Chains A and B, each alone.
Chain A
C-alpha cells in the first residue's frame, strides 16, 4: 500500500512516524491500525512532545498511594481513606461547541475518578477566555459555564472551586480544565490493568455512535475551530449518574479485574491501555458493540468518542452477577472480547481480523521528541521593561484605581458563575466558593477535611516561565494553607501552544522546571495530570498555562480559616512587605502593559510563611487569612472587607517605605510569600511570638471594624461601594440574561 499525504494528514502522523510503524510491524498497517496509531501516537494520548519533560516532576512522597500512569492519582488522607484526583483539559471541543465541550470535559474527568473506585466528591474548573468585551468570548463564557453546571449539577457532585482568567491570547482558543476529587477506602482502589487470560471484556453504558471520531488526534493540532467540526461529543449526565452508582457497586463484588473509562480515542485507547498496563493481550469483536447508527465501519467503532461508556474486565463466572447490577440500573452492556496471552490488541469484525498489533507498540514505543527551546527575544524585551518609567499613582487616584481593579474581570466577584453551580450537594461543603482562598469539604465519618483549589497566573508564565511555574505551585499551596490545610499533592494540566515552535518549547521546559522546583521545596509531589498542546488559533499561541490543582488536608475540619474580616481585630501582613509592578494586573489594566519580571520567589521563605499560617490556624490563634495575588495588598484587603461587610483602617506606611515610596507598588504590587491575617487583640502577643519563632517578617497594618476601608487617608471608601464595583466585574460585560442560558446545544 502506498500511503498518501492526505491519508497521513487525516490521522495527523508524519511520514517518519509512518515509516517507524512499518518498521516496527514489519509490514504496512491496515486502515484500522493506522487510525488507531493516529490516536495512540497523538500528543493527547502518547505525550510524544511532553513525556521527557514530565519525567522531571517529583512524583513520590509519604502520602502518595498512586502516582501518574493510572486514570488518576491517589493520596493517603488518614482513617484508611484516599483522595483520588486529577485535572484534565477539554480545550479544543469547548472552542467549537462550548456547552457540550465543557459538559463532556466534566463527564470525562468524573469517569476517571470512579474508575479508580472512588466516589466523586468535588469538582473544580480552571477556565481561560479572551477579553470579556468580545461577543465571541461572551458566547464561549456563558456556554462553558452552562455546560459545567449542566453536567455537574445533574450528576450531583458539588462544584466548589476553580479559577477564571481573561486575556486576549485565549480569544480563539479558550481553556477548559476540569478537576475532580473523589474519596475511596484505600483497600478499594482499583486499577485499569487487565489480567487473567480468558477474562471477559464488557462494554457498558451508551451505545456507540459516530460522534467524536478521531477527537484525540484533532485535540493535538492547531486551529480548533477548523479541525473540530463534526467531532464534538454530546454529553448525557443522566446516563453517567447511573454508571457511577453501578460501577461503584460493581467494585464491591469480587468479579471485576479492571475498569477503564472510554475517553479520548474511545475503545482504542481503553483497550490498548488496559492491555498494556497488564502486559496481556485483548481481542475485541467490533460486531458485538451496540451501535446507535447503522453502517458503522470497524474503524469508526474503534475511534468513536461517544460519551458515558466504560470498559470492564470481568471473571467469566461473575458475568451473570455483573450483568444483574447493570440491569438494575437499566444500563446496557455487551461482552465484546476477551483477555489473551499474546500481548496483542486484536480487533475483529466477526471472523475477519482488521487490526492486530502488540499493545506496547501503541503505548511504550510511541516516539518521543525532545526539542530545542529558545526564548523569544520579544519576551526578553518585555521582561526587561523599566518599571520606573511608569508614573506613580497620585494619592487622589488611589480609591478609583482600587475600584477599577476590583471591577476587573480577572479580579471581581465570581458569584455570577458560582451561583449557577450546585455547591451544597453531598452535604460536605464547609467553606463555599468565594468565602476563602480554597474550598473546604469535610470527609464524612472522620474529623478531617480537604481543601481544594486550582491556580495559575499565565501572565507570570509568559513573562518568565520558570518563575511562573513555581508561582503556580506555590500559590496553590498558599491558598490551601490559608484555610489551614497541609498541601498533600498536586495534579496539573499543561496547556501550551505548538511544541514545534522553539519559543513554545522553551516555555514548556522552563515552566516544568519551575513547577518541579516549587514541588520539591514545598514537599508536594505531582500525582496525575494531562497535557494539552497546540493551543493556537491563527498565528497566536495562548499564554503558557500550566494549571495546578491541589488537595490539602485539615486534620480537624472544625479548625479552618476564611478570608472575610470578623471585626474588632488587628491585621498583620506576613512575609514579603513589598511587591512588584512587574507582570501585575495593575500594570496591564491601568497602563496597558504586559511587562516586567514577575515577583521573585524565595521558596524557603514560602515554606516558612505557609507553615506558620497553618500552625496559627490549627492552634486557634487566627480564623482569618488571605493570600495577596492579582491586584496586590490593596485588592486583597478590600476583598476581606467585602466578603463579610466589615471595614478596615489601614496604615501602610511601612509597606510604602519598603516599596521605594511608590504608592502604586505599595497598594497593587504583587508578591509571593505574602499572607495577611486578622487576630483578636487578646491573641496579638501569641501571634507575634509565633511569627518571631518561625522567622517570618510581619507588619501590623491596621484594625478592623466599621463600614469603610481607609488607607492612610488616601483611600477612603464605603465597603458597600467597593462591593458594588467588585460584584459588577462579570455582570457588566455579560450578555442579556434572557439569552445567556439558551446557548445552542442546551438540550435539557
Chain B
C-alpha cells in the first residue's frame, strides 16, 4: 500500500522541491505538488505545507496564504483527521489559518539563521511522530528569519498540559536549558500539534534531512510516520 503525499505550493513557496524529493527519493512514495489555486485534495493521504516565503512574506509570513483557494480543502482535510505537516513557512501558514495555536515572530537576533541543530521528541503520539521514541533526539537543519514561537502564557500552559508540544530545541545530548534555542522560542518550542494530533507544525526542515550525504536522514523519521501508521484517508489504496 502506498501513501499519497501532496505538497501544497503557494506563490513564493521554495521548499516544494525538497519536499517532493524527500518523499520520492527518501520514502519512495507517490507525491505531487498541488498549486494554491486548486480546490480538492480528495486524492491524497497526507499533506505537506513546505517552507519558503509565500506571497513574499508580505504583511506577515503566512498571513496571505491562509486565504488561498486551496486552504478550504486543507481545513477540510485536517478536520476529517487527515495528517497535515507544516514546515517552516508551512507552520506559519497553519498558525495564521488557526489550524495550530500561537504565532511565529521574528527571530530574537533579528536575523535569518541557517544551521543544523538538535530537537527532542516531546510527544510521540501525533500522526507525524508515532515512529519516534519519547525523548528521541533528531538532527535537522533550520533556515528561517521568523521562527520564534510565541503564545500567551495561559496558552503555553494549555499546550504543555495537553501534550501539544511535539519538539523542543536541545543540546546534542538532549538538554533543554535554553542554550540551544536558535530563535528565542518560548519554552524552547520547535514544533507543536493540534489537540487531535493530526496537524503538526515545526520550524526545522525534515524534508532537507533525507540522506546522510547532505548531513543526515533524521527527517525521514518524521515524514515516514504516516506510513507506519498506515495513513490512508481513502483506506483502499
A: which residues have CB within 8 A of B? 149-150, 153-156, 236-239, 241-242, 328-330, 418-430, 432, 442, 444, 557-558, 737-738, 740-742, 748
Question: Are the C-beta atoms of A154 and B110 separated by less than 8 Å?
Answer: no
Question: Are the C-beta atoms of B114 and A421 separated by less than 8 Å?
Answer: yes
Instruction: Name the one of A153, A425, A429 contacting B215, with C-beta atoms under 8 angstroms.
Output: A429
Instruction: Name the one of B56, B114, B116 contacting A748, with C-beta atoms under 8 angstroms.
Output: B56
B: which residues have CB within 8 A of A? 11-12, 14-15, 17-18, 21-22, 35, 51-53, 55-58, 109-116, 141, 143, 145, 205, 207-208, 210-211, 213-215
Given contacts A156-B52, A328-B35, contact A420 B112 (CB under 8 A): yes
Question: Are the C-beta atoms of B213 and A153 separated by less than 8 Å?
Answer: no
Residues of B near A748 (CB, < 8 A) are: 56-58
Main secondary structure of the interface of B (DSSP, over half): mixed
Given contacts A238-B11, A422-B143, contact A429 B58 (CB under 8 A): no
Cα-based distance from A442 to B208 in the complex (angstroms): 13
Instruction: Name the one of A241, A418, A426, A737 contacting B18, with C-beta atoms under 8 angstroms.
Output: A426
Question: Are the C-beta atoms of B114 and A740 separated by less than 8 Å?
Answer: no
> Apart from A422-B114, A558-B213, what are 11 other A-B pairs with CB-CB below 8 Å?
A153-B112, A154-B12, A154-B57, A238-B53, A329-B11, A418-B114, A424-B208, A425-B18, A425-B208, A426-B17, A740-B110
Q: List 28 A-B contacts (CB under 8 A).
A: A154-B56, A156-B15, A236-B56, A238-B12, A238-B55, A238-B57, A238-B58, A241-B12, A241-B14, A242-B12, A330-B11, A419-B112, A420-B113, A421-B112, A422-B114, A424-B143, A424-B208, A424-B215, A425-B15, A425-B51, A425-B143, A427-B18, A427-B211, A558-B213, A737-B110, A740-B111, A741-B110, A748-B57
Rounded to whole Å, the gap between the CB of A301 and the closest CB of chain B is: 25
Rounded to whole Å, the gap between the CB of A741 and the closest CB of chain B is: 4
Question: Are the C-beta atoms of A557 and B143 separated by less than 8 Å?
Answer: no
Point out which of A149, A156, A748 has the most chain B C-beta atoms below 10 A from its C-beta.
A156
The total of interchain contacts (Cβ-Cβ below 8 angstroms) comes to 102
Question: Are the C-beta atoms of A156 and B214 separated by less than 8 Å?
Answer: no
Rounded to whole Å, the gap between the CB of A158 and the closest CB of chain B is: 9
Question: Are the C-beta atoms of A422 and B112 separated by less than 8 Å?
Answer: yes
Chain B residue nearest in CB terms to A429: B214
Chain B residue nearest in CB terms to A424: B141
Rounded to whole Å, the gap between the CB of B144 and the closest CB of chain A is: 9
Rounded to whole Å, the gap between the CB of B222 and the closest CB of chain A is: 15
Cα-based distance from A238 to B207 in the complex (angstroms): 22
Question: Are the C-beta atoms of B214 and A430 separated by less than 8 Å?
Answer: yes
Instruction: List 6 tightest A-B contacts by C-beta distance, closest first.
Output: A156-B14, A238-B56, A741-B110, A422-B143, A424-B141, A154-B53
Residues of B near A422 (CB, < 8 A) are: 112, 114, 143
Question: Are the C-beta atoms of B214 and A737 separated by less than 8 Å?
Answer: no
Question: Are the C-beta atoms of B53 and A737 separated by less than 8 Å?
Answer: no
Residues of B near A156 (CB, < 8 A) are: 14-15, 17, 52
Chain B residue nearest in CB terms to A153: B112
Cα-based distance from A260 to B17 in the complex (angstroms): 25
Residues of B near A149 (CB, < 8 A) are: 112
Question: Are the C-beta atoms of A424 and B205 separated by less than 8 Å?
Answer: yes
Question: Are the C-beta atoms of B213 and A423 separated by less than 8 Å?
Answer: no
Chain A residue nearest in CB terms to B50: A156
Cα-based distance from A275 to B116 in the complex (angstroms): 48
Given contacts A154-B12, A154-B14, A419-B113, contact A237 B56 (CB under 8 A): yes
Question: Are the C-beta atoms of A427 and B208 separated by less than 8 Å?
Answer: yes
Cα-based distance from A419 to B14 in the complex (angstroms): 19
Question: Are the C-beta atoms of A444 and B215 separated by less than 8 Å?
Answer: no
Residues of A near B21 (CB, < 8 A) are: 427, 444
Residues of B near A423 (CB, < 8 A) are: 114
Instruction: Name the one of A155, A236, A330, A427 contacting B210, with C-beta atoms under 8 angstroms.
Output: A427
Cα-based distance from A717 to B130 in the complex (angstroms): 48
Question: Are the C-beta atoms of B214 and A427 separated by less than 8 Å?
Answer: yes
Rounded to whole Å, the gap between the CB of B205 and the closest CB of chain A is: 7
Residues of A near B205 (CB, < 8 A) are: 424
Residues of A near B57 (CB, < 8 A) are: 154, 238, 748
Chain B residue nearest in CB terms to A142: B111
Given contacts A238-B58, A558-B213, contact A742 B112 (CB under 8 A): no
Rounded to whole Å, the gap between the CB of A433 and the closest CB of chain B is: 9
Given contacts A153-B143, A428-B214, A748-B58, contact A738 B208 (CB under 8 A): no
